Structure 1
């Protein structure tokens, strides 16, 4: 995996391109935000991510560190969220993903505390 792929993923997310992000998932790929319910398959991922994007004015990811072992990648990052009321909130986060032989996400997990975003 190249650093270019990591950058491309977060460029898609920061552009709030739900369809583009969902296209990175295998047909049975799933995403889980924290302790939320899994969303499985590109269609469900697109609907769920689009709904989340509707609750914020924008976001920007800054990758601090990343590690890869085989098909698994762990990313330590900081995310700046722009709230609908014009405020900003900075939140540390971790993302763990596994890609299949075609390079699509099989499993994608996001760990963060979004309570400050909606406070």
Structure 2
């Protein structure tokens, strides 16, 4: 691939930042009008919207780790297809492992134009909702 000869290295570096929940470093890799689609959520278009989506995820998670199954370079324009089992740890300590396929499209400059994360987010959001429901604040007061 002419514009990104080390697509595997780029992918590993990108996901090192994702797993560290380094929002600024992840955003720096997006084109100004890039988009992020996470599960069945509406697309977040542009860096401001992507930051909001990633900040929400970072606020809910204590950790994230990708266990790679397969990685493919799809074309010579910088499109990568990734298959993984994603390990999420919520702030409440719930651990979930979800199968995922991600499509990353990049401009010739290397900037991400589209990041589409295809997974069933319902187990993650159900765990987050259950944790919120059992939090002391949800019961109408602070823990004493």
Report the TM-score when normalising by structure 2. Answer: 0.77
Q: Structure 1 runs of 4+ off > 4 angstroms?
A: none
For structure 1, list consecutive stretches of 5 or more residues without a partner in the other structure.
none
Return the offset for 1:87: 2.3
Indicate the structure (1 or 2) with the bigger Cα radius of gyration: 2
- Structure 1 residue 14 and structure 2 residue 8: aligned? no
Give the match for residue 90 of structure 2. 83
Give the match for residue 93 of structure 1. 100
What does the per-residue CA deviation read over 1:5-63, in whole Å, with 9 as the maximum and x for residues that have no partner? 11111110100111111111101111111221111122221121111111111111122
- Structure 1 residue 70 and structure 2 residue 76: aligned? yes
Report the TM-score when normalising by structure 1. Answer: 0.92
Alpha-carbon distance between aligned partners in 1 of 2:52 and 2:59, rounded to the nearest angstrom: 11
Instruction: Assess if the C-alpha contact under 8 Å between 1:66 and 1:75 holds in 2.
Output: yes
Instruction: Assess if the C-alpha contact under 8 Å between 2:39 and 2:121 holds in 1.
Output: no
- Quick check: which one's helix share is greater? 2
Structure 2 matches for 1:27-66, cutoff 5 A?
A: 27-66=32-71
Task: Quote the RMSD (CA, aligned, Å).
Answer: 1.2
Q: How many residues align?
A: 119
Aligned equivalent of 1:111, options 102, 115, 118: 118
- Quick check: which one's strand share is greater? 1
For structure 2, list consecutive stretches of 5 or more residues without a partner in the other structure.
128-144
